[in-house]
Amino acid sequence: MSGLVPAGAAAIDVTPPAGLAMSGFAARTSPAIGVHDPLTVRAVAVGETALVVADAIGLHEDSCRRIRDRAGLADGHLIVAATHTHGGPVAMPGRLGPGLDPAWPQRLEDACVQAVAKARAARRPARLGFGMGADPGIARNRRHAGGPVDPALPVLRIREPGGAAITVLACHALHPVVLGADNTLFTADYPGAVRRHLEAAHPGAVAIFLTGCTGDINTGHPAHASISTAPRPDRTFAEAERIGAAIAQSALQAPERPLGSDIRAACAELMLPLARTETEAPSVLAEAWRREAATASPARAELLRCWIDWAERVAPRPPAPWPARVTLFDWGGAWLVGLPGEIFARTALDLRGALDGDPLAGRTLTFGFADGCPGYIPPAGEYRHGGYEVEEAHRYYGLPAAFAPGAAEALAGAAVDLARLLMTRR
């Protein structure tokens, strides 16, 4: 029988009023006109560690640092993550859309700090359990037909000694872009549906969903399919609900094996180099994009205006390395690995293979959008294929250049090193 560990959870509704600029699709220019489902910040505290997740496109690394500093935990004992919903307000200065209301990231920061404090205050003796749910069969590689996906659905349950659930935490690699650029209602996308179904099955519990390594994974449409505000029958609220229900059902049917009560944490910081993918001068690119925009469709023209702005304001900056943070929790023998940015499925599979010996089994939970969201960080083998994630997305993210080959491998290597370090402390 596993031992007890103090654990608690909390959720805070942060749904803003209509009118804020939305993030995630350059083609979408309309602000939010209403709310479909709540945006929340959710936290779970286990021992002297905590994890907080916001319904946001991402949190800037500076915001994450301020949250960690204000929360008062030891360095490396708090992970600040985002679900990466494309149905929320612009949340990061200079990234993923114009029109940032500075009050919104401040509200997110305050809510993250408050949620962590509430979760810590709610800690009571608990048992940890872990299991892998069956692949719900929804994820598709959007860059390569039949390419790698991450089918894992790890589930961590935290229960009171009598069996009542405090938290059900599930993770799956699927981009939260079921709703497209035509949507102008605030929504948590399918992660919100996952949580509702988990909480319905566990009354009184706080459900937490972590978005896995989804840089090249969605329900099957290519990234460029989002350069349109035309409605699509496969990108509706009904579809988000269906997908969320399927993921929740797999999570609810996952087995539950008891974990231990020893809690450990470690983090590493490293500098990830950038490398320019454009071969022409920014001024030349800007002029070419202006000519194209003159006759382009409205959605394409809006994307080109974003790129022109990038060429004039951002591209001239030196491509300085980006400061990355990797955090690893050992919760009773289960690994939780928080990685920054948009990580591809291959990296997650390789990392879990290194930690568990089997990328589809074991006790490792890998997720992205943690402690910063600077853009796509592809594995080295993807660069030769080009495409939006490799050659273009850094413009929408406001970086002067893309991440250089080897960045994803450096993050995974740091996680493996942290696991080795924590294993020496067992």
pLDDT digits (tens, 9 = 90+) for 329-352: 999 999 999 999 999 999 999 999
What is the rounded average pLDDT of the residues 138-161?
A: 97
Confidence of residue 1 (pLDDT cuts 50, 70, 90): very low
Per the structure block, which two tokens stand in for 75? 């360095």
Q: Please list the residues that pair with 335 across neighbouring strands.
A: 330, 364
What is the rounded average pLDDT of the residues 287-296?
A: 96
Please give the model's pTM, rounded to 2 decimal places. Answer: 0.97
What is the rounded average pLDDT of the residues 364-390?
A: 97
- Virtual CA dihedral for 335, 325, 106, 104, nearest 10 degrees? -80
What is the rounded average pLDDT of the residues 177-192?
A: 97
- Virtual CA dihedral for 135, 154, 337, 214, nearest 10 degrees? 30
Helices (H), 167-297: 190-201, 237-252, 282-293
DSSP 113: H
Per the structure block, which two tokens stand in for 103? 């009050």
Helices (H), 135-281: 190-201, 237-252
- CA 134 to chain centroid: 21
Q: Which of 224, 65, 245 is nearest to 138 (CA)?
A: 245
pLDDT at 259 over 90: yes
Q: According to the model, what pLDDT value does residue 224 have?
A: 82
In whole numbers, what is the pLDDT of the chain averaged over residues?
96
Pairing between strand 364-367 and 334-338?
A: parallel
38 and 192 in contact (C-beta within 8 Å)? yes
Q: For the ranges 111-120, 225-234, 239-248, 343-352, which has the lowest average pLDDT?
A: 225-234
pLDDT at 250 over 60: yes
Q: According to the model, what pLDDT value does residue 367 have?
A: 98
Q: What is the CA radius of gyration of the chain?
A: 20
DSSP 256: -
Give the three-state DSSP class for 424: coil
pLDDT exceeding 70 applies to what percent of the chain?
A: 99
The number of C-alpha atoms within 13 Å of 80 and in the hemisphere containing its C-beta is 31
pLDDT at 125 over 80: yes
What is the rounded average pLDDT of the residues 317-339?
A: 97
What is the rounded average pLDDT of the residues 230-234?
A: 90
Q: According to the model, what pLDDT value does residue 361 have?
A: 74
pLDDT at 311 over 80: yes
In sequence order, what DSSP letters do the residues of 250-263 get, joined into one string?
HHHTS--EE--S-E
